[in-house]
Structure 1
Amino acid sequence: MTIQAPETVPVATTRGRAKGGSSSLVPLYIATFVIGIGLWWLAALFAGNRLIPTPLEVVLNGWEGALDGSLWSNTWASLARVFTGFALGVLLAIPAGFLMGWYRLARGLFEPWIQFFRTVPPLALIPLVIVIIGIGEDARVFVIFLASFLACVLATFQGVRNADVTLINAARVLGAKDFTIFLRVVVPASTPFIFVGMRIALGSAWATLVASELVAAPTGLGRMMQAASQFLDTERIVVGIIMIGLLGFVMDRLLLLLERRLTAWQEVRA
């Protein structure tokens, strides 16, 4: 008589299998996009083109801006500001988060200040930044940097704090030094948290960008949208919104792809 083992239901999958599962959602993505465009068109028809432009009008306006070069110049200016502020914020946030999570002294010195400034919206600091730094490019990059830094440093800190204590103690029992434990145990365990923080920081950077460009910025998508609002050019305003959304989406997907490459060992729920 043979006894068959009960079938087990997998609750997690590797990155490779999860990737295949996400590809099955492509039809759903396409369907929701088509539905969204249809609802947009209906809203424009009922509200009137002066309030809500149709998708076709937005496409034509964007094409006009692409031909005369104004759309590309404003897009490049905004992208450069976001990338600079985001990169500086992340480059400083990751080591700061590691220090706070690994050393009690660093945590006691820096965490209260970071928690304090985290509750203050970066946009609220714009008047003070203008007084201290001025209304030039440095001020706009600084507020984007601050928004990115605060989001990423806390995620990194939390990743270090959530490292498996059992693995750390096991490494110590096997004779591993603190630097080896940090490099081989803490850093891999913190990597998913770091990427979550980077993605949140990226969203904060784009959200802060528009407000920073409203303050005497010569170029940028935020400035373009503000100028368009003075002439009730709703088509150009929507073009700016779509460009910001597309750029943010593409950058987020790139971060997600990099995360999957660096954390291929991690099991994820299907």
Structure 2
Amino acid sequence: MTLVENPAPTQAQDPPRARRRGRGGRMLLLNAVSVVLGIGVWWALSLAGFDIPAPPEVLKRYGELISDGTLITDIGASLRRVLIGFVLGVALAVPVGFGMGWYGWVRGLVEPWVQFFRTIPPLAIIPLAVVLMGIEETPKIFVIFLASFLACVISTFQGVVNVDKTLINAARVLGANDRIIFARVVVPASTPFILVGMRVGLGSSWATLVAAELIAAQEGLGYRMQSAQLYYDLPTIFVGLITIGILGLLMDRILLFAEAKLTGWQERR
């Protein structure tokens, strides 16, 4: 019998990691092209007579706000509020979501309230938060916390209830108790849902920030934009918008990176 050697690998047989790197490089290139095109459209609209500042004008304002320390102070204040509210929201949403999905009695007690508050925009809570908590940092952080919590708790709950029952039954057949099934089957299978909920909650936190900083704030990106509105200072408003977008995008990329590392076992298209 003649042994046939394996043929040398061809370009079409590249390992999956190399293909992923290739796709990642193309995606980065497309992202860069998209940014350049977006700035070009923005500049063209400004030159066409639309009442918006041109990119050089906004860039100059960036330099002024950085040089006098205003932008750094505002970024620090807004980041602190968003991170505290977001972390607290996720820290409560994950165990509540797991409890709702794993225990029927918890779901029966908690779900009506979660669904009730989901129909109320977090911004509508601001007047009540001011009355109950005053005008310091607590009400600002609370409304951000509420926005991130409501986004993440539902995603976590859906992750638990969508766990493949075949996996749970197989674990029971092998002698696993509820604690082991929860730790070894339910938590890993729910992780992608939790991370998606965290990304949605992060977006909700940044979206709530500007309104939260209406509450007697003296610093912050939202506060600076609202102050600039009074004086029709469009470059400063653009600086705030762009900065919030960049910070939100960077934080979202961090969560996306964590998702890729924690859910690498998933089959991907």
Q: State the alpha-carbon separation in 2 of the partners of residues 19 and 118 from structure 1.
A: 40
Q: Which runs of 5+ in 2 are unaligned?
A: 1-14
Kindly provide the amino acid, as one letter, of the partner of residue 88 in structure 1.
Answer: L
CA RMSD of aligned residues (A): 1.4
- 2:118 aligned partner, one-letter code: R
State the AA in 2 paired with 1:101: G
Per-residue deviation, 1:47: 2.5
- Which protein, 1 or 2, shows the higher relative CO under an 8 Å CA cutoff with sep ≥ 6? 1
Note the 1:203-218 alignment, pairs <5 A: 203-218=203-218
Q: Within the alignment, does 1:43 sit opposite 2:25 as a pair?
A: no
SS of 2:216's equivalent? coil
Q: Tell me, yes or no, if structure 1 residue 246 matches structure 2 residue 250.
A: no
8 Å CA contact retained: 1:14, 1:268: no
Q: Is the 8 A contact 1:14 1:264 kept in 2?
A: no
Q: Give the counterpart letter for 1:123 in structure 2.
A: L
Q: How many residues align?
A: 255
Q: CA deviation at 1:29?
A: 1.2
**Could you say which residue in structure 2 is the equivalent of 1:32?**
34
Paired with 2:119 and 2:187, the residues of 1 have a C-alpha distance of: 27
Name the counterpart of 1:128: 128
Does the CA-based 8 Å contact 1:148-1:201 persist in structure 2? yes
Q: Matches of residues 15-164 of structure 1 in structure 2 within 5 Å? A: 17-18=19-20, 20-48=22-50, 51-164=51-164
Q: Is this contact kept in 2: 1:15–1:260, CA < 8 A?
A: no
Q: 1:46 to 1:209 in 2, by over 3 A?
A: same
Distance change >3 Å, CA 15–CA 228, structure 1 → 2: farther
Deviates more, 1:251-260 or 1:18-27: 18-27
User: Which amino acid in structure 2 is aligned with residue 28 of structure 1?
Assistant: L
Task: Name the SS for the 1:47 alignment partner.
Answer: coil
Residue aligning to 2:167: 167
TM-superposed deviation, 1:19: 5.1
Alpha-carbon distance in structure 2 between the residues aligned to 1:248 and 1:18: 25
2:202 is paired with a residue whose SS is helix
Task: Quote the residue 2:233 is aligned against.
Answer: 233
Q: TM-score, normalised by structure 1?
A: 0.92
One-letter amino acid of the structure 1 residue matched with residue 171 of structure 2: A
Q: Normalising by the residue count of structure 2, what TM-score does the alignment of the two structures yield?
A: 0.92
Which blocks of at least 5 consecutive residues in structure 1 are unaligned? 1-12
Structure 1 pair 142–264 and aligned structure 2 pair: CA distance change class (3 A): same
Q: Secondary structure at the match of 1:25?
A: helix
Shift of 1:232: 1.0
Q: 1:22: how far off?
A: 2.6
